[in-house]
Every structure is written in structure tokens, then in C-alpha cells.
A and B are shown apart, each in its own frame.
Chain A
């Protein structure tokens, strides 16, 4: 079933259009930076962006920091929200289930396909950003950490890998929330909007001092903690909290999705 879902993912035009759109933003930023040579002052704007003018190889990280807060979650929420509700809306859900495909197995296959989508999207963004950065932006081998000390290429490479892994985990949390909503409703748009509403509410509450007590539990609280991986020494505290928190979100929402889906009447 996993192979079937992956095949559905890659044969679907929507997958590639979405990824192309996600990819367009960092590429546009790179072109603008290269043409105008005006970078944001250090400490302002998206993370890493001030550094890329001198070192283009840092651009993948800057690109990630750009798409992570909004573009990627929206795409993931749409894809995961479509997982079950989309099949229900098109009527294909009942035919998959009478094939038969076990409900738990279908849910798992859908999750794997969403993860595959996230991986493809993140890798495509990183690779394009690397190429664009190397071609258009500065090539001074600055390779500095956010803290200002120098990092070796090797160090930079594994820290980048960690950061990508962290981003994928954060998106897995979003996917779980959207997947849960997808088992509740027969409308894929409704499921995606539900997941996005959670994320928007979380982002909003993070700016509010009165919600301080809630903040450690909000799903978007530690998303950008991957920047800490490029400090010297690495600031693990928020990264680790983020990992634990996302794992909890995944467990809770997948559990709820499974509990709901396996006992639900399929009337679509």
C-alpha cells in the first residue's frame, strides 16, 4: 500500500506544482539579492540572509528559514489534509477499503507519503538554493556560525543535515494534525484549514505575553530553533525541547486519527 501511495504522490501534477511554488520564493529572493546587492542588516530579516551575500553556500539554510514558517506548513497541511478526506470526497476511499486495505495500513501509507512529500520539498529547496546561491551570490568561503566563529565545511555539512532533519520533524507534526482533521471531515479543504488554524493560533499566541504559560506547548514555538544548531557551541536546549514536543504532537494526533478512522462509518 505504501508503494501505491508513493506512486499516487509522484504521478499527481499537484505535488510538483506545489513544490515548484515553494521553491520559487527563495529563488526570487536570491535573484533580488544578486541584482541589488542589498542584504538585510545583520540581525534583521530571515535567519542567515545577511550572511549569504558574502557566502552563497549558506543560502540553502536561508532558503529553509524562509519557507519553514509559512510556505512549507501550508503545503504540508494541504497534502496531509487531502490524505483521507480527498479520497472520501472523490469516492475512492470506499473502493480502497473494500479492496480490502486495512484502515490502519491506509493511514500509515498516507503518513509515509506525506513524509516523502516533505522530504522531496525540503531537498528540492535545499538543492536549488545551493545551486542558485553558488551561482548568483558571493563565494567568499566565510562559512561562519551565527555566533561569528568559523566553521569547517564538514561541520557545516552535518549541522545542515541536522537542521534539515529538524525541519522534517516539525513538518511531521503539522502533517499529523492535518491527518487527524482529514479523518474527521470529508472535505480536504476543511481539514487543511483546520490544521492551518491551529498553526496560526499558535503563532499568534506566541506574540502574546499573557499566554506565556501556554507557550512551551504551542506547536510552532520551537520551529526556528534549528538556527541554534549553527551557534558555536550549539545551543541544544530549544532544539531538544522542539524534538520532544513534535514527537508528542505526532503521537497524540496520529493516535487520535487512528482511533477516529478505525471506528468511523464511511458514508462518502
Chain B
């Protein structure tokens, strides 16, 4: 759905995006991670044809961008760097205007499309109110509604849960999962690891303009081969497993080079109390930190 190769953007002396090769496949919920200022938004803007790349190629839905923007963008819904709307108009009037601005959808069904989008994001109740009186969360929802107007096959969302309360965040998550279930590919840029971890199937990490990591989330979080044990008898366990314990902190031991089943048998046989025992998995945070600090740019 999104393929870029050698995508580069230079602002004067500053290399904002450097040789990025994104690969977002149909059916993905792709989490695009990176610290603030890492080049996420510039990349998103290049994908949508707002910012022109210094070099490199972009393909969206199999067509080159920005050359074929007129054919591609009607099938893409986007939220870029926060929502924006005309404050003196109501939410519904805003959506009606933005729908009318885009070509290729019948005028007769406009009302139905607008109502449908408002309903999906839960703004039906306040659709008649002026946007000026909306809260940040309501504006965010309105931006999402605008992105959903044409039932896009690809959603490009930049920080979609910004400004939402926990309730709103979980609603947006449900909405995105629902859309994904109906076949929408989602490209989600975020700096919130937890959000991406809960939602995404594939992850790309941007660090100072470079794509330092891109893989299936499940692959990244594969068991490391070590086993984590929690036990109130940590000291005894440490003595018993002499040499195999890699880390001991409080009641938590990380044990290497032994099968979990065998480990469990030995501990129980020794009469130790075990609260928890399972394979060690890296959290997304560990993966991202490892990828961003290992990057060659860091070395002084």
C-alpha cells in the first residue's frame, strides 16, 4: 500500500528524512514510531504530496506519488499534525464543505456520508455546534470523521489520539480495529509506544531521519530464549541455578540456557515457591531503545 525507496528530504543543510524505505502492506496496521523531530511528520507530508521529496520514490496504492495524486488521494484518508476546521461553521457544515471540495462522489449522498462519518466518531450529538466551541478531543474526532468521509482503503493518521482522554483513546482504538477488520489498511504515526504496541501488526522506527527498524511486531517481540521466574525464594533459586541466572532483581530472575519445563521441575523439586514462570519477551520499548541507541549516528 505504501512503498518508498531512498526517500530523502533536505531542508538547506538539515537532512530531515534520510533514505527511508517504507514497506506497508495491505491489511497492516503499521505503527510509525519516532521521537519528536525525528522526521515522522515530514515523511507523512511527503507521502501525501504536501512536501516534495528531495530525492527518492513514493508509491501509494501502487501508483507513483505525487504525480498521480488526483487518482490516489481520493482513496486515502488523512489526519496530519492535528485537526483543522473552520471555527465559525458547525461540525456538520465543515464536513459538508470538505466533502464538496473533493471530486468523485455524488452530491445526493453527501448528507448520508457526512452523517455516517459523524456517527462513526461519536459526534452525532454535537454536529450542529460551531467548531469554535469544540474541545480538543471533539476537534480530533472531527478530523477523523473528515478522513473517513470517503471510506478510504488507506488511512494515514499522524498522532490520532492526541488530546483525547483515556476513554476517547480507547474509542479511537476500537474504531480503528473495526475499520481494519473491514479491510482498511492503517498507517499510524505516533510517539506513544503503548498505543502502537496495543494496536499495530507492523512497526517502523524512525531515528533522526533514518528508518532504523521495520518488522512485524510479533517478530520483534519473539521470545528471547530466556525464562523469567518470579519467586519469593529468589536467593535460594539463584543458588540452585548457579551460573544460569543472568539477572536477579528483587523476586525476579532471568534464567538462560534451560527449558522452562525443566527449570520448573527443578525449582519445584527443591521445594521453592514460584509465583510466575514464563518465556522472556522484549517489550516494544526495549526494542525501540535498542534500535535507536545502536544506530551508527550516535557513536561520537
Contacts and interface: CB of A to CB of B under 8 A. Distances in A.
Interface of A: 1, 3-4, 7-8, 11-13, 90-92, 94-102, 263, 265-267
Contacts of A11: 88-89, 93
Contacts of B85: 92
A265 B52 contact: yes
Contacts of A100: 49, 69-70, 73-74, 102
Contact of B73 (A3, A98, A265): A98
Interface string B46-75: 001111100000000000000001100110
Given A94-B84, A101-B102, 5 more contacts: A91-B83, A91-B84, A94-B45, A99-B101, A265-B45
9 contacts: A4-B100, A8-B97, A90-B87, A92-B86, A95-B84, A97-B48, A97-B50, A99-B73, A265-B45
Contacts of B83: 91
Contact of A99 (B51, B52, B88, B98): B98
B260 interface: no
Contacts of A96: 98, 101
A137 B81 CA distance: 58
A265 B101 contact: no
Contact of A267 (B45, B82, B89): B45
A78 B23 CA distance: 45
B52 A263 contact: yes
B179 interface: no
A90 B98 CA distance: 14
B254 interface: no
B146 interface: yes
B76 interface: yes
A13 B98 CA distance: 19
Chain A to chain B: the 10 pairs with minimum beta-carbon distance, closest first: A91-B84, A100-B73, A99-B102, A266-B50, A265-B51, A92-B84, A98-B78, A98-B48, A4-B101, A4-B100
B101 A101 contact: yes
A59 to B, nearest CB: 34
B80 interface: yes
Nearest to A106: B101
Contact of B50 (A3, A92, A98, A101): A98
B113 to A, nearest CB: 13
A7 B97 contact: yes
B13 to A, nearest CB: 16
A11 B130 CA distance: 13
A266 B84 contact: no
Contacts of A12: 88
Contacts of B84: 90-92, 94-95
